[in-house]
Structure 1
Amino acid sequence: MLGTLVRLIGRFIKPYWGLLTVVLVLQLIATVMSLYLPTLNARIIDEGVVTGDTNFIWGTGGIMLALSAVQGLAQVGAVWAGANAAMQFGRDVRAAVFDRALGFSTRELNKFGAPSLITRNTNDVLQVQQLVLMISTVLISAPITMVGGVVMALREDVGLSWTILAAVMLLGAGIAVLIYLMSPLFSIQQTRIDTLNRVLREQITGIRVVRAFVREPHEAQRFEKANGELVDTATRVGRLMAFMFPFVGFVMNISTVGVMWFGAFRIENGDLQIGQLTAFLSYLAQILISVMMTTMLLVLAPRAAVCADRIDAVLKTESTVAPPANPAPTPQARGEVVFDRVSFRYPGAEEPVLKDLTFELKPGRKTAIIGSTGSGKTTLTNLIPRLFDATEGRVLVDGVDVRDFNPDDLWARVGLVPQKPYLFTGTIASNLRYGRPDATPEELWHAITVAQARDFVEEKEGQLESPISQGGTNVSGGQRQRLAIARALVKKPSVYVFDDSFSALDVATDARLRAALEPETARASVLVVAQRVSTITDADEILVLEHGEIVGRGTHSELLATNETYQEIVSSQLSAEEAAA
């Protein structure tokens, strides 16, 4: 784990070596000043006070004040530069994790889970960032202070040097035990933060379901359990951390008593002066504080190492839909889509979801897909914009395999309206411009009109500038669907994919919308996935899916006459008169 931590820090801290060099220089200046001050203090006591030389006291005291001012300024500058480097390091790591997650396919997103990705990009990065801050402000100065403090203490009196060795060994051994006990707890703590985020996200997202089934007590217990487990782990870590400071204080105090006890005998024998003893005590305190700060850094390191492993797991994961190394030349956007013997199997699944599918989408034609729940309709639509890659066969868009497309070129050709439409925080206008930022207000109103959304948009106080909350939760399901359709229309793609995008509309609105869509999509390929037969009766070709296979294809009337599966679907939804029509 520590190896991963070192590699991660080394990878992202490189651009800030200049700032770290400034930190090193300033910390060196501050440390030299702090190491020299006790010696001057000893000289005042032993040479100035004893002899009564007031001029010497004032002169040496003035030098001490000047050195203290330099020390303070150097420390402020070092902390500023170190904090600046650490904050920019954290920013770069968060950006890298976000960029990698943004390129993940649904497979990788499901592998990590949204709560875990959020935790890794916030809490985990914060832990490593704090370690970098400690390294830049503590690790650089602590070794210099320890080594310099030992040298300066030995200059004052070699006979008491064994007390420094004993104190450092006692302090190091005690803190090493604490680190050993805390290390496994850090890994558990990060996992439990993931669990708490997952439970909380589920409950907030599904609050209406929770209330509808009166499951508030059950969900409260789930949250209480996850929260309690996290608190329990954090408390155990906190107790060990809390024990550290009294222990350090005990070692420092017992060391001070020891130095004063044995130093008194050396003063009595004439081997040591009072000022030298005072300086020795100051150096001992500096050495032990440096040891404590270094060990504090070592305490943070195990947790940061766990977090670095989790961050590294994201950064090392390659998307299964990675862009091609050598994209094919961009063909003219015609809107032709070909499924050539396509099969798809989810990782670990015993059976493929889609089996040997072959069909075409052509410009100016509307193709519909219908089938029972779980027949693979949504999976099929996800293969066109390459949200998944087919495990067998090829999906061609305008004659080019989607795996050979530059992703931006491919996505520019496809207007996808997903089964669960999602709107982003912002305004109606910002959501509609998601696919085309340069769309004019006139184009937005035109798309809204075609999508049968003009009535409720005009009723809103801000109209196009009306606010939309995260996920579109401040509009109804039907309004959300119509805005998602308008968003696809604004994009003006050559391939439209409507994945059960009319399910929240009443029959009359559905009919008006389909009629308005026809001239808008006349030159594009249109794929409509539907559960409702009335939505697809006018399709040029209907594909009937059953267990991932095409068990029927043709027009509504042809399938109604020849396909048993389609007949069952129709009979379950339409009366005989409606079916004949």
Structure 2
Amino acid sequence: MYSTIFSHVGKYKKEAYLSPLTIVGEVLMEVLIPMVMGLIIDHGIRKGNIGYVAGMGGLMAVMSVCSLCFGALAARFSAVAAMGFAKNLRSALFRKVQGFSFANVDKFSTASLTTRLTTDVTNVQNAFMMFIRMAFRSPIMLVCATIMAVRQNRRLSVVFLFAIPVLAFAVFFIISKAHPRFEKMLKKYDEMNGKIQENLVGIRVVKAFAREEDEKKSFGENTNSVRLAQFAAEKLVVMNMPIMQLVMYASITAILYFGGHMAVNGNIETGELSSFIMYVSQILMSLMMLSMLFIMFVISRASLQRIYEVLAEEPTITAPEGAGARARDGSVRFENVSFSYYDDMGNLALDHIDLDIHSGETIGIIGGTGSSKTSLVQLIPRLYDATEGKVFVGGHDVREYSLDTLRSQVAMVLQKNVLFSGTIRDNLRWGDENATDEEIIEACRSACAHDFIMSFPKGYDTDLGQGGVNVSGGQKQRLCIARALLKRPRIIILDDSTSAVDTATDSSIRKAFREKLADTTTIIIAQRITSVMDADRIIVMDGGRITDIGTHRELMQSSEIYREVYDSQQKGDDE
């Protein structure tokens, strides 16, 4: 786990190595300063040797400046290395997520992935910055100061034998109890982020139903859960500092007591005692920093595990090495296909589907909610893989294509239409980044989008805002259709993509498809029978199975489900 994550330090290794090197210089200066101070007191001040005091005082000042410079450099190097590491780690996580299938994203949830890319990476960044400084500074300081203290007075050094076990026990206790609490805290963060995301995406629904107060109350409960989880975790961690300070001050008090008696009896010089006390402070401060390092490790360990889970996750959909299949046409074939979202053959969304769609054919798909219409078409571009059976596109099993090649041949307008921040033109060029203005306009005319685009003051340069908040649902659908058309695919799938447009616009879009996409296989999922009644064939689905296939006329005679849907819609129109 650690090698995988810390391999992303990348080009910032130089700074990561320079930070501990400069810390060595800082520590050496700090360790020598108390010795110089003791010499000034014992050989300069006590003997009235002003020249000695001035000379050694100047040396002490130079050492202080050197320590300051080394410390500043170490801080800069560690900050650069930690921020660069965090940048690389976030980039690696984002690239990994981009390679995930829908099933992988479903496993983690969007909110959890957001937390891992933000909060968890920040925790690891802070731990890494502290590690490359304190993990070197504290042990070096501890060893050097201990050597100097023992060299000054072995008898007084016995105090350390009592202080160190207390500190070690306290750190072990906190580490063993805190880790599971931080894991729980991060899960609460996931839940809170999920609530924020859900509320912001559905803010119009919240206001339409006047549910603001309920959402505030619900979010308050979420934030309180985070607060309680934080409190449970942090109340252990905050014990570290008081325990460390208690041990440190008790040790210094003991040294002052015993050292004072020794000084009175002439067994130790005043300057020697002063420098010894400073060494003790450095030793205990080093132990305190080490304990804080361990605590930071506990906090970051939960984040490290969550980040590693994403980096180690294998995409459920991959292409074989050297996949070089090319679609010869827009034909689609389902061969005894079954599919489950949970890889459970006892809980199938699609049950033994056999279907042949000819190249250039227009296929309509009708069925009630939960009949798995969307599940069926999502197998064509391999957004999910069939649990059993095979799906063929252009004469080849979809698993024989590289994902880029397959998905460049299949354009899909999903139920949930998504636009991105930027201009209309930028969003349309997702279909073809090299599309000319003429090609963009032609695609928009086919999708009945050109007229409303030109009604905006900036036309195709209109900024859509985040998620396309500046356009209506019907306009968003038409822009997504135009974007798909720019791919010039062999197969285009419209998953209930005209539900928000009026019947006249729907009819115009279908007419444009018939005239301009004669060679393109078109699959239309719709709730309105009028949207598919002129298709070459219509598929009726129920309970994950295909119950009937035929033209509108044939189904009106042979399919009870189709006839019931048609009659109910005609009755609704008449009323």
TM-score by length of 2: 0.95
1:84 corresponds to which of 64, 69, 80: 80
1:310-329 alignment, distance < 5 Å: 310-327=306-323, 329=324
* Deviation at residue 330 of structure 1 after TM alignment: 3.4
Task: Evaluate the alpha carbon distance shift between residue 65 and residue 238 of structure 1 in structure 2; reply closer, same or farther with a 3 A threshold.
Answer: same
Q: Are the equivalent residues in 1 in contact too, given 2:329–2:394 (CA < 8 A)?
A: yes
Q: 1:34 to 1:265 in 2, by over 3 A?
A: same
Provide the rounded CA distance (Å) in 1 between the counterparts of 2:121 and 2:104: 20
Structure 1 counterpart SS, 2:104 = helix
Rounded to whole Å, the distance in 2 between the matches of 1:332 and 1:379 is 22
Q: Name 2:443's counterpart in structure 1.
A: 447
Query: Residue in 1 aligned with 2:566?
Result: 570
**1:178 Cα shift?**
3.4
2:377 paired residue number = 381
Aligned mates of 1:551, 1:246 — CA distance in 2: 72
- Determine which of 125, 128, 135 is the counterpart of 2:124: 128
1:186: how far off? Answer: 1.0
- Partner of residue 209 from structure 1, selected from 205, 208, 216: 205
How far apart, CA to CA, are the structure 1 residues paired with 2:177 and 2:371? 52
SS of the aligned residue for 2:35 comes to helix
Query: In the alignment, what sits opposite 1:157?
Result: 153
Distance in 2 (alpha carbons) for counterparts of 1:544 and 1:129: 54
SS in 2 for 1:550: strand
1:29 to 15, 25, 40: 25
Alignment partner of 2:245 out of 221, 242, 249? 249
Match of 1:467 in 2: 463
CA drift at 1:212: 3.7
Task: Within 5 Å, give how 1:140-155 maps onto structure 2.
Answer: 140-155=136-151
State the distance in 2 between where 1:80 and 1:351 align. Answer: 56
Q: Report if the CA contact (8 A) 1:451-1:482 is conserved.
A: yes
**Aligned pairs for 1:78-477 within 5 A:** 78-327=74-323, 329-332=324-327, 334-347=329-342, 348=344, 350-477=346-473
Q: Which amino acid aligns with 1:453?
A: A
Instruction: Give SS of 1:474's match.
Output: coil
Structure 1 pair 461/14, CA: closer, same or farther in 2 (3 Å)?
Answer: closer
1:4-63 deviations in Å (ceiling 9; x for gaps)? 4x3444433465443332122211111111111111111111111122222211211221
Is contact 2:10-2:85 (8 Å) kept? Answer: no
Q: Could you say what secondary structure the match of 1:467 adopts?
A: coil
Instruction: Tell me which amino acid in the other structure corresponds to 2:404.
Output: D
| Greater CA drift, 374-383 or 58-67 | 58-67
Q: Counterparts of 1:463 and 1:213 in 2: how far apart (Å)?
A: 33
Distance in 1 of aligned mates of 2:262 and 2:417: 83
Letter of the 1:62 partner, please give it.
Answer: G
Instruction: State the shift of 1:459 in Å.
Output: 1.5
Secondary structure of 1:301 counterpart: helix
- Match runs of 1:478-493 below 5 Å: 478-493=474-489
**How far apart are the structure 1 equivalents of 2:148 and 2:98?**
55
Per the alignment, do residues 300 and 349 of structure 1 end up closer, same or farther by CA in structure 2, a change over 3 Å counting? farther
Conserved? CA contact 1:457–1:463, under 8 Å: yes
Give the residue type in structure 1 aligned to 2:102: T
**Given the superposition, is the C-alpha separation of residues 214 and 518 from structure 1 closer, same or farther in structure 2, using an over 3 Å criterion?**
same
Contact 1:363-1:522 at 8 Å conserved across structures: no
Q: CA deviation at 1:413?
A: 0.6
Letter in 1 for 2:454: E
Match of 1:512 in 2: 508
Match of 1:530 in 2: 526
8 Å contact kept, 1:172–1:291 = no
User: Partners of 1:576 and 1:131 in 2: how far apart?
Assistant: 63
SS in 2 for 1:326: coil
- Superposition CA RMSD, Å: 2.0
Map Cα deviations across residues 182-204 of structure 1 (whole Å, 9 max, x no partner). Answer: 33321121111111112222222
Question: Does the Cα contact within 8 Å between 2:368 and 2:542 map onto a contact in 1?
Answer: yes
Relative distance call for 1:272 and 1:523 in structure 2 (3 A) is same
Does residue 20 in structure 1 map to residue 16 in structure 2?
A: yes
Correspondence 1:43 to 2:43? no
Distance verdict in 2 for CA 1:301–1:365, change over 3 Å:
same
Q: Which deviates the most, 38-47 or 336-345?
A: 336-345
SS in 2 for 1:31: helix
Distance in 2, matches of 1:120 and 1:349, equals 32
- Please, which runs of 5 or more residues in structure 2 have no aligned partner? none
CA contact (8 A) 1:413 1:493 kept: yes
Structure 1 spans left out of the alignment, 5+ residues: none
Q: CA deviation at 1:554?
A: 1.8
Number of aligned residues = 573
Instruction: Provide TM-score, normalisation by structure 1.
Output: 0.94
Once the 2 structures are TM-superposed, how far is the Cα of residue 349 of structure 1 from its aligned partner? 6.6
SS of residue in 2 equivalent to 1:270: coil
**Any idea what SS the aligned residue of 1:338 has?**
strand
Distance 1:256-1:335 versus aligned 2 partners, 3 A rule: same
Aligned-partner Cα distance in 1 for 2:201–2:12: 40
Matched, 1:54 2:50: yes
Deviation track 1:483-535 (CA, whole Å, cap 9, x = no partner) reads: 00010111211111111111111111111111122222122111111111111
What are the residue-to-residue correspondences of 1:66-81 with 2, within 5 Å?
66-81=62-77
**Are the aligned partners of 2:96 and 2:310 in contact in 1 as well (CA < 8 Å)?**
yes
Gap change, CA 1:363 and 1:117, over 3 Å in 2: same
Whether the aligned pair in 2 keeps the contact of 1:333 and 1:413 (CA below 8 Å) is no
CA distance in 2, matches of 1:188, 1:575: 54
3-state DSSP of counterpart to 1:517 = helix
Distance change in 2, residues 1:173/1:125 (3 Å): same
Mapped partners of 1:197, 1:16: distance in 2? 31
**1:170-219 per-position Cα deviation (integer Å, ceiling 9, x unaligned):** 33333443334433321121111111112222222223333444433433
CA distance in 2, matches of 1:555, 1:220: 51
Identical positions, percent: 35
What is the distance in 2 between the residues matched to 1:276 and 1:334? 91
1:494 paired with 2:490, answer yes
